[in-house]
Amino acid sequence: MKTPIFKDLPMTLRRADFSDDFVWGVSTSSYQIEGAATLDGRVPSIWDTFSATAGKVRDGSTGAVACDHYHRWEQDLDLAQSMGLNAYRFSIAWPRIFNGVDAEPNAKGLEFYSKLVDGMLARGLQPWCTLYHWDLPQYLQDQGGWENRATISAYLHYVDVVTRHLGDRVRHWITHNEPWCTAMHGNWDGMHAPGKRSLPLALQVCHHVMVSHGRAVALIRANVADAQVGIALSLHPIHAASASAEDQAAVQRHDGLRNRWFLDPLYGRGYPAQVLELVGEDAPRIEAGDMEAIAAPLDFLGVNYYFPEVVRDAPEHYPLRSAIIHPEGRERTAFGWEVAPQGMVELLARIARDYPTGPLYITENGSTYEDQVSADGSIDDVQRRDYLIRHLAAMRDAIAAGGNIRGYFAWSLLDNFEWAEGYLRRFGLTYIDYATQERTLKHSGHWYSAFLHGAQN
């Protein structure tokens, strides 16, 4: 197999453009890569149930095997180390830790993550642990899931056990990944597990997730010396479809639920009044102390950036009276997502201007294209490579403009189970042959490695 030669790079970009202590990593998540769905005491998650339901996943697949990371984790960490990374973001599978509401922690599940963390440290990879990346145990969903306030207590018990077990070695903790997706895709549009379709349900789920986040912050700090605690949000620049007053007003309404619904309460402002007025009686039930809990001070904010959203005024669409449109003639990934590196600069500047976040980390950023394996076994994914280069350059620009950005995690190390898309979408810097589980670093992964090793271009 040929090793790419990087003489045709579209721009100059060097690791030396960033600080010596900049965090360079990749992100992964448990259900998307681990497999081993029934081994060593793991019980079903909502994603096992959802993906096993006909019509929920486009290719009819599940994460039962995925990348078999549970058995191949050493190979995967070797790959991350060889690329020159200094950090690795992973998530814990809650269903590996508990198999029932009143159950004792599963020793084999804890042992797996202990070995995984030890493996990172042995390879010079700083562990960044995400405590919840959407795989709620099914036994909790059977009791109402995140709609049931008791799930907050179950989450805190889980967090307590995990942080006590790993806190002597893991310093960086992310409470939740993309609560928008947990709540809205899972309970409003039904695209994700558990597949519900109710706005009031989604808003209540979202509230309980955010309360669980806030209450976990102090718990993690109590269990982990020098803990750094944050949350990873999926955030988007919101643009108007036109210069009309109606479309400009739609941007404000849309931003209220898409971005400010999370940012405002995290930084002590409560839920946006405009959105509460729009949703009326569908607003979540809030108990005394909830908003204060959500506003627990954070050590950092994780930003998952993929694309901007363009909206128009749409009075017929409850509750925001806005609709997302997809303007023609714009560069897009195979997923249909707009390629807009400048959007990252815009988003990071807006966050820094409006919120006292402290350090920011890009906790996810990546792209999916139709990868083709060449006759010699290589994957010449130039589009993904260029996407990566352009977004790293945008991040460099954001830092030069004064942004307090401390690290970048590419999504993802591996092709994996891409939720409702199954295995139809490939985000990885590494190609997975799912029939053989062979790993092959793509052209984009070779470029990232060359960049991290200080290659000049």
Q: How far apart are CA 44 and CA 64, in angstroms?
A: 10
Can you tell me which residue has the tokens 């993309």? 178
Q: How far apart are CA 152 and CA 72, in angstroms?
A: 33
178 tagged catalytic: yes
Side chain identity, residue 78: D
Side chain identity, residue 352: A
Catalytic residue among 34, 147, 178, 346: 178
Beta strands in 178-293 (DSSP E): 228-234, 238-240
Q: How far apart are CA 297 and CA 288, in angstroms?
A: 18
Side chain identity, residue 314: A
CA-angle at 229, arms to 267 and 208, nearest 5°: 60
Helix 382-400 crosses helix 341-354 at what angle (to 10 degrees)?
Answer: 30
Catalytic residue among 34, 147, 346, 364: 364
Three-state DSSP state, 67: coil
Q: Do residues 311 and 240 touch, judged by C-beta distance below 8 A? A: yes
Q: Residue 128 pairs with which residues in a beta bridge?
A: 89, 172
Q: Residue 33 pairs with which residues in a beta bridge?
A: none
Closest by CA to 305, choosing from 220, 228, 403, 235, is 235
Closest by CA to 335, choosing from 426, 415, 260, is 426
346 tagged catalytic: no
Closest by CA to 385, choosing from 1, 10, 3, 2, is 10
**Positions marked catalytic:** 178, 364
